[in-house]
Amino acid sequence: MKNKIALIFILLTPILIVALSSIYFSMGYSPEGTKNEGIFFNEYFDVSDMEIYTEDKKISFQDGKWILGVYITDADKAKNSLYLMRQLNVALNRDIFRVKRAAFYNNKELEAAIKNTKSEYPRIGIYKDPSNIFFNSLQNNSDLDLTLDNPIFVIDPYGRVVMYFNVDLDPKKILKDLKVLI
């Protein structure tokens, strides 16, 4: 008889815990906020299908690396974002090879500034968005005005844009989020 009671107790305990937690959650008691300091985009969207090119080839995600990116709308405003992105990449330490940096632009007037960016940050990938599809997707899926802000955004190894970080956020918090992601 003792064995039957112990068996019933063992079998019913997980069911009871799941039922009580479901009731508790449906009553409105749930975790608030996230541990992320970054801001998720309203909807994930895939970059790999978009017409985004480097000098000679389309953007690809065959290497399985995460991308830290900045969309450059104004070269002066983007300097802080590019510098912070480089510092975050260095601070990742042993995970540095799991991340690559990228700058995106669509304005032909920025091409001289982009060449300066390439010489100042030689390990950054420069991608052109000639049809503004990527720019419009970033703009529509966030609360940002990309003509005013140049946040750092994260693209996962499959080409989905996941989240962005405001540049005025503490770099230690951004680094903490990146280490969890990667």
Beta bridge partners, 70, equal 103, 152
The model's confidence at residue 152, banded by pLDDT at 50, 70 and 90, is very high
**32 vs 164: which has the higher pLDDT:** 164
What gap in Å lies between CA 87 and CA 137, rounded to an integer? 27
Please choose, from the candidates 90, 85, 58, the residue with its C-alpha nearest in 3D space to the C-alpha of residue 154.
85
pTM of whole model > 0.85?
A: no
Confidence of residue 169 (pLDDT cuts 50, 70, 90): confident
CA-atom Rg of the chain in angstroms: 22
Question: What is the C-alpha separation between 163 and 37, in angstroms, rounded?
Answer: 10
Tell me what percent of the residues of the chain surpass a pLDDT of 90.
Answer: 27
- CATH 1.10.760.10 for domain 39-181, yes or no, is no
Judged by phi (left if over 0) then psi (alpha if -120 to 50, else beta), residue 112 lies in alpha
pLDDT tens-digit map of 93-138 = 877 788 999 999 988 888 888 888 888 988 899 999 988 899 999 9
Q: What is the mean pLDDT of residues 34-59?
A: 83
Instruction: Please report where in the chains the tokens 């609360």 appear, as a residue.
Output: 143
Four-residue CA torsion sign, 165, 171, 174, 178: positive
pLDDT of residue 34: 55
Q: Report the 10 Å Cβ neighbour count for 133.
A: 16
pLDDT tens-digit map of 14-35: 999 999 888 887 887 766 655 6
